[in-house]
Amino acid sequence: MIVHSRPDVLRVLFTLKGSIVKRIALRCLLVTLLAALIVLVERRYPQMFSPVSATPFTLLGLSLSIFMSFRNNACYDRWWEGRKAWGKMIIEVRSFVRESAVIADERVRGELLRGLCGFAHALNAGLRGEAPLEAARPWLSEGAAISPHNVCDGILQEIGGHCSRLAQAQQISEWRYTLLEQRLLGLSEVQATCERIKGTPLPFPYTLLLHRTIYIFCLLLPFALATPLGWLAPLFTTIVSYTFFGLDAIGNELEDPFGRDENDLPTDALVRTLERDVLAALGHTPLPPVLLPVEHVLS
């Protein structure tokens, strides 16, 4: 995620970090060169060009802008829902830490709380297409039998089993056990929410239609601008293509908020926050350092 202070005018105009320019620069350049070529041909062979009304392009551009705003809003909703899910994870883990303070056996409590860190690491790795069990292993007890089929759910089952045995041994009350199970249920809901976002992209035909329409619009626009604007046509074509290609690329990034793109969620930093909270509750010092932005990017 990009972390910038409030930008001034120069930074707005020239900042590349976090900008979508690098991803669409080639496409914009090709459209600009095409527009320049069309203007050159129009100037040398004007008889080959008949006046083209800009009205169809105005209507198409307006419709395209509306549909792109719908798509980008849907993509942002996915990004924001993912952030809310990770916020809920922090709430549930902190609540579990407080409610587990009644467990007298510090070793058992430490295994439970460290298991929560393992859950966060496993979920983060799974959403990024990495190995969940390897990510969680340093936080799990040696005897933990976690199935590689669903590592996150296996960790929650392991923690729930510990809590159930504590209740049976009357080391915690049934009421306390119910509270701890509610926290585990909340974490299971977080996992399901993130997996739903990850596993259900926007309908492909809808995205494909927008992609094709954007390319058709940007490639045909110079033919309408060449005669009335002359050599200003490439400039205005570049501005229009930058806007449409940029909105399209931003939507692609936000559609999957759990990756490693610059504008994705800073899940590594959120996992580190959980680590610090758990280790502080267990009395560990020093704590791992807070993850800070590197060149304005918080991972």
User: Residue 32 has which token pair?
Assistant: 């600009």
Report the alpha-carbon distance of residue 95 to residue 126 in Å, rounded: 24
User: Residue 50 has which token pair?
Assistant: 């008949």
Note the pLDDT of residue 13: 57
Note the pLDDT of residue 189: 97
Note the pLDDT of residue 61: 82
Note the pLDDT of residue 11: 61
* CA distances for 162 relative to 87, 154, 168, angstroms: 25, 12, 10
Classified as helix, coil or strand, 132 is helix
Non-local (6+) Cβ contacts of 253 within 8 A are 20, 259, 261, 262, 263, 264
* Domain range annotation of the chain: 26-281
Note the pLDDT of residue 6: 61
Note the pLDDT of residue 8: 58
DSSP at 6: P
Tell me how long the chain is.
299
Note the pLDDT of residue 264: 87
Note the pLDDT of residue 9: 57
Report the alpha-carbon distance of residue 211 to residue 217 in Å, rounded: 10
Residue 5: exposure state from Cβ atoms within 10 A (0-12, 13-18, ≥19): exposed
Residue 101: exposure state from Cβ atoms within 10 A (0-12, 13-18, ≥19): exposed
Sequence letter at residue 170: Q
Classified as helix, coil or strand, 294 is strand
Q: What is the mean pLDDT of each run of 10 residues along the chain (299 residues)?
A: 62 62 87 90 77 76 84 92 95 95 90 94 94 91 79 92 92 92 96 94 85 88 84 90 89 88 89 94 90 75
Please state the pTM of the whole predicted model. 0.87
Nearest to 116 by CA among 257, 260, 264, 273: 273
Residue 204: exposure state from Cβ atoms within 10 A (0-12, 13-18, ≥19): exposed
Note the pLDDT of residue 276: 94
Note the pLDDT of residue 78: 93
Residue 144 C-alpha from the chain's centroid: 31
DSSP at 232: G
Note the pLDDT of residue 202: 87
Nearest to 187 by CA among 258, 282, 115, 291: 115
Note the pLDDT of residue 117: 94
